[in-house]
Amino acid sequence: MTHKITILPGDGIGPEIMAEAIKVLDVLQSAHGLSVAMEQAPVGGAGYDAHGHPLPAETLSVARSADAILLGSVGGPQWETLERHLRPEQGLLTLRSELSLFSNLRPAILYPQLAGASTLKPEVVSGLDIMIVRELTGGIYFGQPRGIRQLENGESQGFNTLVYSESEIERIGRSAFEIARKRSGRLCSVDKANVLEVSELWRQVITRMGDEYSDVELSHMYVDNAAMQLVREPKQFDVIVTGNMFGDILSDAAAMLTGSIGMLPSASLDCNNKGMYEPIHGSAPDIAGQGVANPLATILSVAMMLRYSLNEVALADRVEAAVGTVLDSGLRTADIASDGMQTVGTTAMGDAVVAALQ
């Protein structure tokens, strides 16, 4: 079966890191029986420059027809003065909502070889492997009404609405339970049920679903405690499921436990497991064009794509193992090198992963 993949290199270091991810897909085709049809399209600043819009109609249509989408990164100072709806990041947000990518998977994995890169003690984080499942298209970021209004006393008042319907909670819950099943079978649902009615409903729905997934060990935690536990003893977690805003904050904290932004992939899935895969970092304008960016987050995004959208689990394992082999060999890009270590550039790192896969 040939998988249709849309490739969106984007801006800044996006095209550089994407070139290495494509090399990985190529070697999986030539040496490991994968069959993919790749089509590239511009998005973000590149979309604006080519077609006057950060999400050109043609790009959206190509992405709609694909089995999965691989994205580099978008953004850069040259587009920051554009009107808000024309800025690169809007292209990405529109793509996520147009394709109903409601389930955001953010792994925080710390390769034992990189334990020194974290700000926490190596014994606290070495071997860390958490998956945060964040609801991405609902909650307080989208709830209506919202705005800034004038009160009678002349004071301004800002307001937002936190809403989750049963079906929205069930949808993200199912996504998380299924993922927990494929991992160690432990799921922690994070809410603020002691204060918020929305969270009370969240907890009811997730608890009810727990009966259906009796093979998954379900626990609940308040978000303030979860934030504390993430830095105190992060390895107690396997899969965490939570709403949009709590997930936004906790997943950034978890990512930073690993200390290496250039290593972390992410996925955003719809209800049929079609997904968009991207590194969690941005377009790094400060190092774009220098050939020094770490391509491993994008290569690990390929592994996630193989696992979650293309059902090529054995190949996903192979790519992740190849990254481990390369790290074992001592190869480092500048962002993950400890003091005194020799570093390699983007292309050499990509080549090393390809060699490990051959």
Smallest separation, CB 179 to ligand NAD (Å):
21
Binding positions for ligand NAD, 126-165, rule CB under 6 A: none
**Whether residue 141 lies in the annotated active site:** yes
Closer residue to ligand NAD in complex, CB, 92/216:
92
> Exposed, middle or buried by CB within 10 Å (0-12, 13-18, 19+), for 173?
buried
Annotate each residue in 289-318 with x if it binds ligand NAD (CB under 6 A) or - if it does not, as one string.
Answer: ----xx--x---------------------
Annotate each residue in 256-285 with x if it binds ligand NAD (CB under 6 A) or - if it does not, as one string.
Answer: -----xx---------------x--xxxxx
**Whether residue 121 lies in the annotated active site:** no
**Whether residue 23 lies in the annotated active site:** no
Q: Is 292 helix (H, G, I), strand (E, B) or coil?
A: coil
Binding positions for ligand NAD, 76-95, rule CB under 6 A: 76, 89, 92
Q: 57: Cβ–Cβ under 8 A, 6 or more apart, which residues? A: 51
Catalytic pick among 191, 248, 270, 335: 248
Q: Is 258 helix (H, G, I), strand (E, B) or coil?
A: coil
Task: Pull the structure tokens for residue 159.
Answer: 């307001």
**Whether residue 308 lies in the annotated active site:** no
Distance separating alpha carbons of residues 234 and 248, to the nearest angstrom: 17
Distance separating alpha carbons of residues 14 and 282, to the nearest angstrom: 8
Distance separating alpha carbons of residues 52 and 274, to the nearest angstrom: 27
**Whether residue 215 lies in the annotated active site:** no
Closer residue to ligand NAD in complex, CB, 59/73:
73
Binding positions for ligand NAD, 195-254, rule CB under 6 A: none
Closer residue to ligand NAD in complex, CB, 173/265:
265
Distance separating alpha carbons of residues 296 and 21, to the nearest angstrom: 8
On whether the CB atoms of residues 126 and 117 are closer than 8 A, the answer is: no
Smallest separation, CB 300 to ligand NAD (Å):
11
Q: Is 138 helix (H, G, I), strand (E, B) or coil?
A: coil
Out of 286, 338, 340, 342, which residue is the one contacting ligand NAD (CB under 6 A)?
286
Closer residue to ligand NAD in complex, CB, 169/296:
296
Out of 73, 118, 199, 251, which residue is the one contacting ligand NAD (CB under 6 A)?
73
> Exposed, middle or buried by CB within 10 Å (0-12, 13-18, 19+), for 24?
buried
Catalytic pick among 49, 182, 252, 328: 252
Cβ neighbours of 224 (radius 10 Å): 13
Smallest separation, CB 335 to ligand NAD (Å):
4
Smallest separation, CB 13 to ligand NAD (Å):
6
Distance separating alpha carbons of residues 250 and 55, to the nearest angstrom: 29
Cβ neighbours of 74 (radius 10 Å): 30
Residues tagged active-site: 141, 192, 224, 248, 252
* Site residues for ligand NAD per CB under 6 A: 13, 17, 73-76, 89, 92, 261-262, 278, 281-287, 293-294, 297, 335
